[in-house]
Structure 1
Amino acid sequence: MSLLPRTAEEFSSAEYWEKFFKKRGERAFEWYGDYNKLCGVLHKYIKVQDKVLVVGCGNSELSEQLYDVGYKHLTNIDISETVVNHMNQRNAERRPGLTFYQVDATKTPYEDASYQAALDKGTLDAMASEEEGALARNMLTEVGRVLSVGGRYVCVTLAQESVIKLAVEHFVQLGWAVRLHCLQEESKREEDSFALPVFVLVCTKFRQPMPTPILEMCLGEDGAPVRHTQVSQLLSAVREHQAYSVLRKRLRTNTDASSNLSLTLCHAKTGLPRYTLTIQDCPPGAKVPRVNQFAIFIVPQGSETAWLYSSSEGRRQLAASANFRRLVIVSMHRNQEYTDMQAVQSELSPVVMDLAPPGMPANQQVPFLSVGGDLGWREEVNRGVSQLSGEYCVENVKGEDGELYRRLVFLSNAALVQSESRLVLLNMVTSQKKRNKRKAKASAAQAASSTTLSVDSGFLCCAHHEVMVACLAMLGVGMPQNKDLPVSVLLVGLGGGGLPQFLRDFMPNMTIEVVELDPVVLEVAKQWFGFQPDDHLTVTLGDGLERICALEKEGGHLFDAIMFDVDNKDRTLGMSCPPAAFVETPILQKVRNLLTPRGLFILNLACRDLALRKSVLERVSGVFPTILSRKIEEEINEVLLCTCGEKEASDADHISPSLSQAAKNLQSALYSSRTEPNRRPNIDIAELLKDLKVV
């Protein structure tokens, strides 16, 4: 509607509302719903005999309808002279006891404690813009003054965050009880309802201020109140209801397969995230059986970061495999307890049914799908805070393959696994005989909670780490003539230490220097991921760029391979690995200067921005004549293998015969390394190198 205010200044301007009501004329303006929608909650908190101050009445019919059902003590005030005159004229004959006054709600002439209720429908929202917050506070102060002990301020609002935060904090500081009702939408027509749900804020005045805030949320007019302990928790619950309402409205019409609509549901008591729901529709024209309208897929705990569930491409593939018109993919959050699949289904059923596709029959059965029929398993074993990267947790999870894994996750980007290692029972490593005698009835949880778990250094969980190792075949590692030739590696980025530990344990004659910026990461790697530095594996704490510059300046120190495996903390860029500064030409030139004549530069590149990727490749190729690329299947990562030699005249789709033989030699060297049979590296060098492409 074109008459609606376009700016915060208009919302709180007396001149604006004067013009508004002159243009609108006699038509009632029912901001946020009419009497029929609001009567249930209004009658709950405002008694018929109460003296009621109606703040910012406008030309709404609400006061008239309240008067008609018995509320005879209504004082209606508004800042607009036009609307006051109009309302008095409209009601002079039919409702002689219903009067309207031109009064500024921030400066009323009424005595202290002279009203039992104050009713506000949209006035707080009109006043509480960020620029005009003082105006709203003055109004709320005035409301508090004219209300008697036990009196209630009843405010119908859209509860935009700046507005509801201002009001709730105001009354909490006064020691009042605060309750919010989220009114459920009943209309299914777009033109009949707001995108955001309507809330009713009820603040009750006490004789003595409450020492502990009473903060409650109710769903609907009769919903049981859910108690919150902090204002932030209440605001989080408001945001959740708003997001759910917006999502439900959008889903009343078909979405497209690339829309990626998602919603986070929080725990009712703690306000912490509990479920994330992502809606995935099949593309138009897909042949979907008529009975396959709607299904819910529960992602096992610990699997939510897998490509199939965390990426838009993976979710589309999952939906296509499930072959439902609409699939809601549900992920469970850390630090939340879930009893079993049946309990999760019962908890989600009343929520997700509102997300069904339009036109689905009311009696249609909606299946819950999962992998293996259970909730998966996750156990947090450590939590801490890094000054550089924020809060982190170390957790054990059971993979879909039944194996146990340990992960490092920074909670600022909880959908990304920073580091991962496979776990094995310690007695499986140290004593095959004892392992055979061990009873096989222990569950994953029982095994993981014991102290017999060990990180398997022979298993690389990250596909790009496997490729980076395989690229070292270019150095001729494992060839008979290089049997005693030392190999030196500089690796920027430690993580859990899986890659450098693998190189030290299984690559012959190798010395590795790792540069890690965050000392907390080093301690986590040592304590939880079995990382053990020694004379052949050292760690330099500091900035990787500064270390490269220092090494080049010192001179006399050359490396056979330099690897970049460092993530980008700046999430606004389209490149998550490495930070942009690591692929600037001056740094790349220093990297080349630090390489031996046969040296390799190996870069883990994760870039969604095609233009940015092209720019990176141009800079790298300006320094290194030969670049080979190996894409990581089902991930955005690719490993760039850069050499100082000229490009070989060979088919870009196949590795050269010499590289094929080098792969075999490296494979043989890995298998013959001194280690126990059950800890041999599980890596196929030739397979990893066969898809190398010349850039």
Structure 2
Amino acid sequence: MNLLPRSSKEFSSSQYWEQFFRRRGERAFEWYGGYLELCAVLHKYIKPKDKVLVVGCGNSELSERLYDAGCQNLANIDVSEVVIRQMNERNANQRPNMTYQVMDATKTTFSDSHFQAVLDKGTLDAILTDTEAGTLETATRLLTEVGRVLQCGGRYLCVSLAQAHVLEKLVTQFSQGGWMVRIHQVSESSSKGSGSQFPLPVFVFVMTKVKEMPGFPQVLEMMPEDEGGKSVRCGSPSDLMDMVKERQSYALIRSHLNQNHNSPEVSLDLCDGVSGKTRYTFHVVDSPSIRLLPANHFAIFIIPQGRETEWLFGSETGRRQLAGNVGFRRLLFVALHRDQPYESMEAIQSELSAKVLELAPPGLPDNQQIPFLSAGGDIGIRTVQYRGRSEMSGEYVVEDVRGDGTSYFRRLIFLSNQNVVQSEARLLPSNTPSGQKKKRKDKKKQQKANDKVEPGITHVLDKSYLCCEHHKAMISGLSLLHNPGVTPDQHLSVLVVGLGGGSLSLFIHDYFLGSLVEAVEIDPAVLDVAGRWFGFTLDNRLKVHLADGLDHINELAQKGIFILNLVCRDPVLKKKVINTIHEVFPLIYVQKIEDEVNEILFCCPVSGQRRDLSELKESARSLEKQLKRPGMLWDETFVLADMLKSVQIV
């Protein structure tokens, strides 16, 4: 039997509810759950001696259960004569102190300040079905009437799905009136046996009527799902509404994952319950091709601190590859956030054990032990060395992290895009043989660069290390300058647009001894960070211009080769860019960076410089041999010829 209306507007019609309860009969209908799901919250705010008004009572057993629990001063109203007659017949003898009356909740006959509590389970949702003017006016009358019949200090408890327009109406109207607003999430969003099939969670809004006191901070609180936890105080109504929407989004994700074992990757953030800051980021990856065995349903992979930007953990392709390799049908990646304290792997497991089960795949066997995996067996090391703010790019941090094995790195991260490493330098133990270290003139800056990342171990910067594959490809492209290639001692004038930590500029300066390097950087804060934390210093062969790179280039004569790191996902736009470059540079080689969007364009002003792949690779090999001088460090993972292995002409 279909008991749902043809449209949501019928929910606000008294005729609909008359027909509904006539067809439903005396069998209780528990909209949004029953007493067992709601009692933990309700009894916090409804006391046994309180006068309580239940609006839109229907034939729910909620009032009866409250009465039996000791809250016996209950007045129930509903617009349906059928249901009021049924409820009076059902309760007249057993619960003589409880009343049921036919009454419109938007215009009751009760006196002002008559009740200590008003309970509304789904009535506002049934009335506020859309945002049309008439509907909003009816909802306003209901909420105004609630305010009228409540005493000062009284509570309006509204059980709701908190759809966007209902949420805004509730929070806005009561917060503007100076009321205390507190929101609880019901622990079970769809109670078994209640007939509720909503994937969204159920919330209980507790609005407390208080006297307005100018200058007194308004109370806007989101209560934790764990009733033993601390509430989160919100600074504004919009912040409070955002927290509700985040919980709704999480519930929808849970519902989707609980019904599917072959979902595309799903990502979500979990926030600290007190500060509201992101504490964990989850990435849920399914591998349906894995043979399903009892022991390989589900596992958790903790990404060590500082390694979340690595390709294997920081890209969807990398995570999917790793998930397939470890052999679980569903792998939940967990990234740890800076500015959050983490004691140990065991502490993280304890904190997450209940939450991760909510994201388990369908069909997970009962009492299945969920393994926690990691790279290296611990949570990694991340040390924030410095915090600053750029007027152009916002807040940033300089941090030292431990990479794979015993490797350490210093990184510049702009907090507006925390998953992107703006600059990175490798750190080496300071006991590196003295013949492999170049003395620095600026001892103060060297001391900054030598700060410890682990107690008892001092590190220095490795200037042979280029963190980005596109930087390596750019260096390889210098072999295009001459045939058979440029030599390290040859006079070479290089303009680098964008300084970052200065690693590319320093590499050219230190390994091409005949070079004159000029870098252009638009942000003064970046230049300061490069000098203080990345060992960048100026001399007669290394200069920096604080300017817009494009403006600076326009002032220069177009000579030599132009090497461009092109990052473009739009094929039409990319083609347009290349065509524009072709107007100046007739010959363009392109090298795609493996597993990245980046493509390196080597743009030559003379088409007669064209050479085949074997010639280019030979020039790169020759250049590399000359760059590897005695007493200079060299990153053995950097093979110049390999960076040109798939170069093409466009």
Q: CA deviation at 1:353?
A: 1.5
Q: In the alignment, does 2:84 pair up with 1:88?
A: yes
Q: State the Cα distance separating 1:205 from its structure 2 match.
A: 4.7
* Equivalent runs, 1:223-234 vs 2, <5 Å: 223-231=227-235
TM alignment of 1:291-310, pairs within 5 A: 291-310=295-314
Deviates more, 1:526-535 or 1:209-218: 209-218
Amino acid at match of 1:325: R
How far does residue 474 in structure 1 lie from its aligned partner after superposition?
0.6
- Distance across 2 between alignment mates of 1:172 and 1:224: 29
For each residue in 1:34-88, what CA deviation from the matched residue of structure 2 results, as whole angstroms up to 9, or x when unmatched? 445334433443245432223455676655665687765444456xxxx444433
Q: Deviations over 1:581-631 (max 9, x none)?
A: xxxxxxxxxxxxx2x2xx222121223344444444444445533322222
Give 2:443's aligned residue.
none
1:677 matched to 2:646? The reply is no
Equivalent residue number for residue 666 of structure 1: 623
When structure 1 is superposed on structure 2, of 137-146 and 153-162 the one drifting more is: 137-146
CA distance in 1, matches of 2:514, 2:99: 95
CA distance in 2, matches of 1:451, 1:140: 65
TM-fit CA distance, 1:383: 2.0
Equivalent residue in structure 1 for 2:388, among 384, 388, 398: 384
Are the aligned partners of 2:181 and 2:205 in contact in 1 as well (CA < 8 Å)? no
Task: Name 1:693's counterpart in structure 2.
Answer: 648
Structure 1, 96-105 or 333-342: larger mean CA deviation: 96-105
Contact 1:216 1:226 in 2 (8 A): no
Q: Residue in 1 aligned with 2:447? A: none
Which residue of the other structure, out of 466, 489, 510, is the alignment partner of 1:505? 510
CA distance in 2, matches of 1:138, 1:517: 57
AA paired with 1:310?
G
Q: Offset of 1:340 from its aligned partner?
A: 0.6
Aligned to 1:602: 563
- For the 8 Å contact 2:485–2:620, the answer to whether it is kept is no
CA distance in 1, matches of 2:581, 2:7: 53
Write the mapping of 1:457-476 to structure 2, written as runs, cut at 5 A: 457-476=463-482
Give the C-alpha shift of residue 476 in structure 1. Answer: 3.0
Deviation at residue 542 of structure 1 after TM alignment:
3.0
Measured at CA, do residues 206 and 474 of structure 1 come closer, stay the same or move farther in structure 2, by a change above 3 Å? same
Q: In 2, Cα distance between the equivalents of 1:511 and 1:89?
A: 94
Q: Does 1:277 align with 2:277?
A: no
1:625 and 2:586 matched: yes
Match of 1:645 in 2: 606
CA–CA separation in structure 2 for the residues paired with 1:463 and 1:693: 17
| 2:202 alignment counterpart | 198
Q: How does 1:257-656 map to 2 (within 5 A)?
A: 259-283=264-288, 285-426=289-430, 428=432, 447-448=453-454, 452-476=458-482, 485-549=490-554, 551=555, 557-558=556-557, 594=558, 596=559, 599-621=560-582, 623-646=584-607, 655-656=613-614
Deviates more, 1:178-187 or 1:108-117: 178-187
Where 2:223 maps in the other structure, the secondary structure is strand
Contact residue 423 and residue 501 of structure 2 kept, 8 A: yes
What are the superposed Cα offsets for residues 172-223 of structure 1, whole Å, 9 maximum, x if unpaired?
9736373524322465899843121111123445679776747351426xx2
Shift of 1:226: 1.5
CA contact (8 A) 1:84 1:100 kept: no
What's the counterpart of residue 575 of structure 1?
Answer: none
Q: Provide, for residues 359-392 of structure 1, a one-character-per-residue CA deviation record: whole Å limited to 9, x for no partner.
A: 1211222111111110011011222233332222
1:275-310 Cα offsets, whole Å, 9 max, x none, are 111111113x43344421111111111111111112
CA separation of 1:681 and 1:329: change in aligned 2, threshold 3 A: closer
Change in 2 beyond 3 A, CA 1:642/1:191: farther
Decide whether the 8 Å contact of 1:237 with 1:266 is kept in 2.
no
When structure 1 is superposed on structure 2, of 536-545 and 358-367 the one drifting more is 536-545
Alpha-carbon shift at residue 684 of structure 1 (Å)? 2.0
Preserved contact between residue 511 and residue 537 of structure 1 (Cα < 8 Å) = yes
Displacement of 1:241: 3.4
After superposition, the Cα gap between the structure-2 partners of 1:191 and 1:310, relative to the gap in structure 1 and judged at 3 Å, is farther
| Contact residue 179 and residue 208 of structure 2 kept, 8 A | no
Give, in whole Å, the separation in 1 of the partners of 2:514 and 2:508: 10
Summarize deviations over 1:317-347 as a string: whole Å, max 9, x none: 0111101111111111111010011111111
Q: How far is 1:529 from its partner?
A: 1.6
Cα deviation, residue 649, structure 1: 7.8
Task: Please list every run of 5 or more consecutive structure 1 residues that lacks an aligned counterpart in the other structure.
Answer: 434-443, 552-556, 559-593
SS of the equivalent of 2:198 reads coil
Aligned partners of 2:601 and 2:193: how far apart in 1?
Answer: 54
My pick for the range that moved more, 90-99 or 285-294, is 90-99
State how far apart, in whole Å, the 2-side matches of 1:545 and 1:92 are. Answer: 81
C-alpha displacement of 1:646: 2.8
Q: Is the Cα–Cα contact under 8 Å of residues 110 and 149 in structure 2 kept in the other structure? A: yes
Question: CA RMSD of the aligned region, Å?
Answer: 3.8
What SS does structure 1 have at the residue aligned with 2:508?
Answer: helix
**Displacement of 1:136 after TM fit?**
5.8
Code of the aligned partner of 2:531? K
Contact 1:265/1:276 (<8 A) preserved: yes
**Structure 1 counterpart SS, 2:561:** strand
Q: What is the one-letter code of the residue matched to 2:256?
A: R
Equivalent residue letter for 1:454: V
**1:499-552 CA-partner distances (Å, limit 9, x unpaired):** 112112222322233222222222222222222233333322233333333x1x
Supply the distance in 2 between the matched residues of 1:429 and 1:166 (Cα, whole angstroms).
69
- Which structure 2 segments of 5+ residues have no match? 93-97, 438-449
Q: Distance in 1 between matches of 2:48 and 2:394?
A: 54
Q: SS of the residue aligned with 1:470?
A: helix
Superposed counterparts of 1:120-269, under 5 Å: 120-125=120-125, 127=128, 140=143, 142-160=145-163, 163-164=166-167, 167=170, 170-171=174-175, 174=178, 176=180, 178-185=182-189, 192-205=196-209, 213=219, 215=221, 217-219=223-225, 223-231=227-235, 238-256=244-262, 259-269=264-274
Task: Give the whole-Å Cα distance in 2 for the aligned partners of 1:477 and 1:134.
Answer: 81
Quick check: 1:298–1:370 contact (8 Å CA) kept in 2?
yes
* 150-159 or 330-339: bigger deviation: 150-159
**Counterpart amino acid of residue 499 in structure 2:** L
**Distance verdict in 2 for CA 1:501–1:234, change over 3 Å:** same
Q: Does the 8 Å contact 1:279/1:328 carry over to 2?
A: yes
SS in 2 for 1:607: coil
Code of the aligned partner of 1:304: E
Shift in alpha-carbon separation, 1:194–1:615, aligned structure 2, 3 A: farther
Q: Deviations over 1:72-114 (max 9, x none)?
A: 5444456xxxx44443344454456633344453x65543321
Contact 2:259 / 2:362 at 8 angstroms: preserved in 1? yes
Other structure's SS at 1:301 match: coil
d(CA) in 1 for partners of 2:148, 2:631: 80
Amino acid in the other structure paired with 2:121: K
Change beyond 3 A, Cα 1:288–1:623: farther
Q: Percent identity at matched positions?
A: 43
Question: For the structure 1 residues 60 and 633, does the alpha-carbon distance in structure 2 shift closer, same or farther, using more than 3 Å as the test?
Answer: same
Residue in 1 aligned with 2:32? 32
